[in-house]
Amino acid sequence: MKNFIQPGDNLACIAPYDVKSGEGLLDGAEFSVASTDAEAGAPVIGVTRGVFSLKKGAVSITRKTVAYWDNTAKAATNVATDNTKIGIFQASALSADAEVAVKLIPAI
């Protein structure tokens, strides 16, 4: 196919803030997980598909509910207001838990 460019699972991004490998980042409207450490403004490959253990806000999570990215707290949350939809929680979590499994669903 002449117009195919690349698979969309690993995409070039510009780190909007300092990120460590495995941390979430929001580059424009697209959420991904950094494959390497990167300083703000540096290029980084973002992974847009898969299940990742992500930092979680101080909220209780019910499995198989919608996951959002709180770009202020740099954490996954179940709060939709002012946050970006990123996927589906794959596990329940207590408010005191630091991380939760999220299946990423690429933005449309």
β-strand pairing of 30-34 with 99-104: unpaired
CATH of the domain at 74: 2.40.300
CA angle 27, 28, 30 (to 5 degrees): 65
In a domain, 1, yes or no: no
d(CA 76, CA 79): 9
Give, for all 108 residues of the chain, the pLDDT tens digit.
899 888 889 999 999 999 999 999 999 999 999 999 999 999 999 999 999 999 998 999 999 999 999 999 999 999 999 999 999 999 999 999 999 999 999 776
Q: Which residue has the tokens 């991904």?
A: 32
* pLDDT for residue 61: 97
Q: In what order do the strands lie in the sheet with 99-104?
A: 50-55, 99-104, 84-89, 66-70, 75-77
Contacts of 77 (CB under 8 A, 6+ apart): 56, 57, 59, 67, 68, 69, 70, 83
* pLDDT for residue 22: 97
Number of domains in the chain: 1
Which of 81, 38, 78, 25 shows the shortest CA–CA distance to 56? 78
Residue 94 sits in which domain range? 10-104
* pLDDT for residue 108: 67
In a domain, 56, yes or no: yes
